[in-house]
Chains A and B, each alone.
Chain A
């Protein structure tokens, strides 16, 4: 065999194979395109889209959960703050009430004390007045009784007059 001839047939495309390759390849391309690649590629695409969507929704669910959790924490913190405020306010209110009550009681006590003192003074004055009156009455009665006894006889009357006269200095 002539080696140049072999080389020639190696790199000379044969008309038969060109023809059959063209026919078979184009046929294969058309058939595979319609019955294999289209459904396969569509299916893969659909699944990929599904996976992407599922991942995205999982991500968004996670975000929602995170948001919910942070919301919950915020609500909890708010509640705690509110409780603290309430307790503080309650304590302040209690203190205020106690203080008010204390000051009111003090005031009342003072007022009562003052009125009691006043009453005591009034009573004392009344009692003193009455005592004075009674003393005067008693004095008058005593004086009357003394006078009666002094003036029960003439001698006595005379003695009294003389006695009184003694004291009187006729100047």
Chain B
């Protein structure tokens, strides 16, 4: 158990370092952004882009990385099929809070896929920028991801309330039927094998949270696999919120042994200046790893599938397609497993964190405390 935890800690700290590197890169890029997207330059790029579309060259090299990220990143419209002007997309509502103009709502159709300026705003790489450089913008748009989140929340609500109704109607003495019999094993699996086995006797309180997390992640993982679906679970904002909720649930319900272990770890007092900060960092690395794991797994899967399909366009030959399609199919099947697995892992680790924070004083701890006392006497 301890070895597992230490291995896990090592893993999460590695994650932290990698993420810190990524973050510094992203900060650098965003820092250079204002220079890049100055108004004149923007006009120029938009103009160039439209021209490029007009004289669309079928032999021009395809930027697979751009296509891949377009599929992975959030969007202000729900793109269904087609390219540029022939694109069929569902426009979504744009909601922005501007430091100068207050809250503004309009349809994303006004941007005409980034080709038009609306009300002094333009869409650059799916980011809304203002022509007024002094204006700060906070984008609260119902993007593709938000739309799918609301859609899946609605589906889950209707689905599980109808299942609840089925229990009410048929009573508990009859065997489950239809949806009920499909979801009951999953629900009991989450309740018994995830919650009870990791949290113990007090698990009942956390089961609704674990169930909601499990089914929301699972459904969005599966929808993410469908070409027109949004990559919600592969978006770091979504995994961030779920991890923060887990962090809050874990620490709010943590008992005194948990805090005792953090602020008075079973080690010589001289090591406290090193250990206590480490333990405090440990509070955050656990949910942090949770956030990265789901985000990275889902995003990586999508990038692989798009890259494999992109091989056809990179090599510009149809002969590569059996290989590309074959591998893409293999990865897609694997992703089906990953969709379930990641939902399971996220829920399992959440339960594990809650369990370790709410667990009664274990034998190991008692033993260590005794050792500490003996050490102090000497």
Q: Are A9 and B240 in contact (CB under 8 A)?
A: no
- Contact A8 B237, CB 8 Å, known A1-B63, A36-B161, A36-B164: no
Q: B residues within 8 A CB of A29?
A: 208-209, 212
Secondary structure class of chain B's binding surface, majority of residues: helix
Q: Are B160 and A36 in contact (CB under 8 A)?
A: yes
| Count of chain B residues with a beta carbon within 8 Å of a chain A beta carbon | 64
Kindly state the separation between the CA atoms of A2 and B30 in the bound complex, as whole angstroms.
Answer: 11
Q: B residues within 8 A CB of A38?
A: 208
Q: Are B160 and A40 in contact (CB under 8 A)?
A: yes
Q: A residues within 8 A CB of B22?
A: 7, 11
Q: Are A37 and B207 in contact (CB under 8 A)?
A: yes
Q: B residues within 8 A CB of A6?
A: 65-66, 69, 73, 125
The verdict on A43 contacting chain B, using a C-beta distance below 8 Å, is yes
Query: 1/0 per residue B125-166: CB within 8 Å of A?
Result: 111000000000011111101100110010011001101100
| Chain B 148-196 residues near chain A, CB threshold 8 A | 149-150, 153, 156-157, 160-161, 163-164, 167-168, 172-173, 184, 187-188, 191
| Count of chain A residues with a beta carbon within 8 Å of a chain B beta carbon | 43
- Contact A40 B26, CB 8 Å, known A21-B149, A29-B208: no
The verdict on B311 contacting chain A, using a C-beta distance below 8 Å, is no
- Contact A24 B153, CB 8 Å, known A6-B69, A8-B26: yes
Q: Are A21 and B172 in contact (CB under 8 A)?
A: no
Kindly state the separation between the CA atoms of A11 and B23 in the bound complex, as whole angstroms.
Answer: 7
Q: B residues within 8 A CB of A41?
A: 187, 191, 204, 207-208
Contacts A10-B73, A44-B184 known; 4 new A-B pairs at CB < 8 A: A2-B29, A3-B65, A36-B161, A43-B172
Question: Which residues of A approach B to under 8 Å, CB–CB?
Answer: 1-22, 24-29, 31-33, 35-41, 43-44, 46-47, 50
**Which 6 residue pairs across A and B have the least CB separation, nearest first?**
A8-B26, A36-B160, A17-B237, A13-B237, A43-B167, A47-B172
